[in-house]
Amino acid sequence: MKIEITDDVQLLSPREVAEQLMNPQLAAGEYIGDVRLECGCDLEVDIHLHDEMDKRIDGYRDRTETFTLGDIRDTFVAADYYAWVKDEDGNDYLACFGC
Protein backbone atom coordinates (compact mmCIF):
# COMPACT_ATOMS: atom_id res chain seq x y z
CA MET A 1 0.00 0.00 0.00
CA LYS A 2 1.24 3.48 -0.80
CA ILE A 3 0.08 6.58 1.05
CA GLU A 4 0.54 10.10 -0.25
CA ILE A 5 1.78 12.64 2.30
CA THR A 6 -0.11 15.93 2.36
CA ASP A 7 1.08 19.36 3.45
CA ASP A 8 -0.12 19.04 7.05
CA VAL A 9 2.19 16.07 7.79
CA GLN A 10 5.74 16.52 9.03
CA LEU A 11 8.24 13.65 8.93
CA LEU A 12 10.98 13.31 11.55
CA SER A 13 13.80 10.79 11.41
CA PRO A 14 14.39 8.62 14.49
CA ARG A 15 17.51 10.69 15.28
CA GLU A 16 15.52 13.95 15.12
CA VAL A 17 12.91 12.47 17.47
CA ALA A 18 15.65 11.27 19.84
CA GLU A 19 17.30 14.69 19.89
CA GLN A 20 14.02 16.42 20.72
CA LEU A 21 13.26 13.89 23.46
CA MET A 22 16.72 13.59 25.00
CA ASN A 23 18.56 16.91 24.62
CA PRO A 24 16.78 18.58 27.56
CA GLN A 25 17.52 15.52 29.74
CA LEU A 26 21.20 14.91 28.91
CA ALA A 27 23.70 15.54 31.69
CA ALA A 28 27.01 17.27 31.09
CA GLY A 29 29.26 15.10 28.94
CA GLU A 30 26.46 12.80 27.74
CA TYR A 31 25.72 12.46 24.05
CA ILE A 32 23.36 10.49 21.82
CA GLY A 33 24.84 7.46 20.11
CA ASP A 34 22.90 5.00 17.99
CA VAL A 35 19.17 5.51 17.47
CA ARG A 36 16.95 2.74 16.15
CA LEU A 37 13.34 1.71 15.87
CA GLU A 38 12.76 -1.73 17.40
CA CYS A 39 9.82 -3.87 16.29
CA GLY A 40 8.44 -0.91 14.35
CA CYS A 41 7.17 0.81 17.50
CA ASP A 42 9.82 1.37 20.19
CA LEU A 43 12.49 4.02 19.76
CA GLU A 44 15.77 2.99 21.39
CA VAL A 45 18.38 5.67 22.06
CA ASP A 46 21.91 4.83 23.21
CA ILE A 47 23.34 7.47 25.55
CA HIS A 48 27.10 7.63 26.04
CA LEU A 49 29.14 9.39 28.72
CA HIS A 50 32.89 9.81 28.43
CA ASP A 51 34.24 9.40 31.98
CA GLU A 52 38.02 9.03 32.12
CA MET A 53 37.98 8.79 35.92
CA ASP A 54 36.47 5.28 35.95
CA LYS A 55 39.10 2.97 34.41
CA ARG A 56 36.94 -0.15 34.99
CA ILE A 57 34.74 0.86 32.09
CA ASP A 58 37.50 2.06 29.74
CA GLY A 59 36.36 5.62 30.31
CA TYR A 60 32.88 5.18 28.82
CA ARG A 61 29.48 4.55 30.36
CA ASP A 62 26.51 3.64 28.21
CA ARG A 63 22.79 3.26 28.75
CA THR A 64 19.81 2.77 26.50
CA GLU A 65 16.58 4.75 26.81
CA THR A 66 13.46 3.23 25.28
CA PHE A 67 10.43 5.28 24.23
CA THR A 68 7.12 3.81 23.13
CA LEU A 69 4.91 5.66 20.69
CA GLY A 70 2.71 6.54 23.69
CA ASP A 71 5.71 8.17 25.42
CA ILE A 72 6.37 10.22 22.29
CA ARG A 73 2.71 11.24 22.02
CA ASP A 74 2.77 12.38 25.66
CA THR A 75 5.90 14.48 25.08
CA PHE A 76 5.18 15.93 21.64
CA VAL A 77 2.08 18.13 21.60
CA ALA A 78 2.43 20.05 18.32
CA ALA A 79 0.45 17.57 16.21
CA ASP A 80 -2.89 15.81 16.43
CA TYR A 81 -1.60 12.28 15.78
CA TYR A 82 1.76 10.49 15.49
CA ALA A 83 2.66 7.21 13.76
CA TRP A 84 5.82 5.44 12.63
CA VAL A 85 6.00 5.04 8.84
CA LYS A 86 8.53 3.83 6.27
CA ASP A 87 9.43 5.59 3.06
CA GLU A 88 9.83 3.82 -0.27
CA ASP A 89 13.48 3.09 0.58
CA GLY A 90 12.57 1.39 3.88
CA ASN A 91 13.74 4.25 6.13
CA ASP A 92 11.75 4.87 9.31
CA TYR A 93 10.12 8.22 10.07
CA LEU A 94 7.74 9.58 12.67
CA ALA A 95 4.78 11.08 10.83
CA CYS A 96 3.26 14.03 12.67
CA PHE A 97 -0.27 14.63 11.39
CA GLY A 98 -1.97 18.00 11.83
CA CYS A 99 1.12 20.08 12.61
pTM of the model: 0.81
pLDDT tens readout for residues 2-19: 666 666 788 999 999 999
pLDDT tens readout for residues 26-67: 888 889 999 999 988 899 999 988 766 666 656 567 889 999
Radius of gyration of the chain (CA): 16
- 92-97, strands of its sheet edge to edge: 9-12, 92-97, 81-86
Question: How far is it, in rounded angstroms, from Cα 69 to Cα 46?
Answer: 17
